[in-house]
Each structure stands twice: as C-alpha cells, then as structure tokens.
Structure 1
C-alpha cells in the first residue's frame, strides 16, 4: 500500500532538510508535529550557516543550521503538507540568511524550500 499525501487548495508542500524536521521545532513553530514523506531536492548542495537569533537557537538547540546552495548534488529530506498559515509561521522561524523558493523535487512534486539568500 502506498501512502498518499492529500493536497487541497489550502495545502502547501514544504520540503525540509534541516531543523524544521525536528519535532520540538515543529511543536514550537506550528503547534503540532508534522507527518512527512521522504523526498529529495536535486541541483543543490548542503552547507551550514551560523544562526544568531536567540529564539531560533533556543527552538532548534543549535546555532549551526544547514542551508542549501546551488550545486550539482541531491539533498535528502522530508516533504510536509502544511496550511498557508503554517507556511507563514515557517517564514517567521527562518532567519534572513534563508529565502523561500518553489522547486521541483525528485518525486516530481513541487514544494517550497528555504535556500541561501545569496545577496
């Protein structure tokens, strides 16, 4: 049996490769634990950024967070079906080093993902 994620007009797909997969981050950010499915993003490489926002550090438990930069690799992660309100909460959680973009995933679905905000 294949599990299928229901998608409605009020549902957004969010791909996470980092702290948004942590249960405590989800509970603090969304008020609930998310149910996700494995997937991957192609054309990016994983790097790290030092976080200085005390709330984000307290929520995630670390000042070192993964970040995606364009590249030739694939990065494994999890895709979550969330509401538009939860997507706005994720925007609030992410610091200015990140920007949210829509990308195709290895599965063929398109999801939002936070990548390096290359200034």
Structure 2
C-alpha cells in the first residue's frame, strides 16, 4: 500500500462490480474482514441515480451498537484519495464516512449510519 492509498471497508453495494465500475472505473479486489460493534439494517434509497447504479432500492447500513458481539462481514479494498472522493459522492446523506478499527486490527474508512445516533442502541 502506497502513501496515497486509502483502505475502505465495504459491506454492501460497493462490493458489486457494476457499482465499482461506475464509481471507481475499475473492479477492486479486497481482503475479507469484519467490523465489530455494528449491526446491519436496510435503508430505503431515494436517490434515483444511486438506485440505477446499484440496481437496488434498499442498501445495507452499518448501525453502531457498541456491542463487541455485533459484527458485519465485508471486504477491505484499497482506493486512491480521488476514488474515495467518488465513493463519498456515491453514498447518500444517510451515510457518513468514519475511521473504524476492524477485527483484524486494520484501520479503514467505512460508511456508517449518519442519522440521529441518540435513538440507536
């Protein structure tokens, strides 16, 4: 990994080839990993461009629980800073990019729930 490479934990549509080609212009390989302290929920997507790219009206969203036993399986992919900016543009406003520590000990970016966290448990 070079100094310009960023790690991104993907657990949802960013793993789909069509989304990767549309977002990054290339297919990305990754390493299997797990995000502790989160659970998956489904989020209705209202942005027609995102639905068209993914082919899905609902996307998984990582909701923090703080419980070590709650985990999300996914992949760590390496992207350039420009590709990370493209991923930011792809994600709807219900997601925020956060630095997370994965089960492997790797630090990566992940798109997690940006909605009101005071109502989550």
Q: Same fold (TM over 0.5)?
A: yes
State the shift of 1:34 in Å: 0.4
TM-score (norm 2): 0.92
TM-score (norm 1): 0.93
Structure 1: gaps of 5 or more residues:
1-6
Q: Check if 1:75 corresponds to 2:87.
A: no
1:10-49 to 2 correspondences below 5 Å:
10-49=4-43
**Count of aligned positions:** 113
Q: Deviations over 1:54-77 (max 9, x none)?
A: 110000001100001112201000
Structure 1 stretches of at least 4 aligned residues deviating more than 3 Å after TM superposition: none
Query: What is the rounded CA distance, in whole Å, between the counterparts of 2:115 and 2:54 in structure 1?
Result: 23
The equivalent of 1:61 in structure 2 is 55
Structure 2: gaps of 5 or more residues:
117-121
Q: Check if 1:115 corresponds to 2:109.
A: no
1:78-97 to 2 correspondences below 5 Å:
78-97=75-94
More strand, by proportion: 1
Query: What is the rounded CA distance, in whole Å, between the counterparts of 1:95 and 1:51 in structure 2?
Result: 8
Query: What is the rounded CA distance, in whole Å, between the counterparts of 1:37 and 1:113 in structure 2?
Result: 14
SS in 2 for 1:114: strand
Query: What is the rounded CA distance, in whole Å, between the counterparts of 1:82 and 1:35 in structure 2?
Result: 10
State the shift of 1:49 in Å: 0.5
State the shift of 1:113 in Å: 0.2
State the shift of 1:8 in Å: 1.1
Q: CA RMSD in A?
A: 0.6
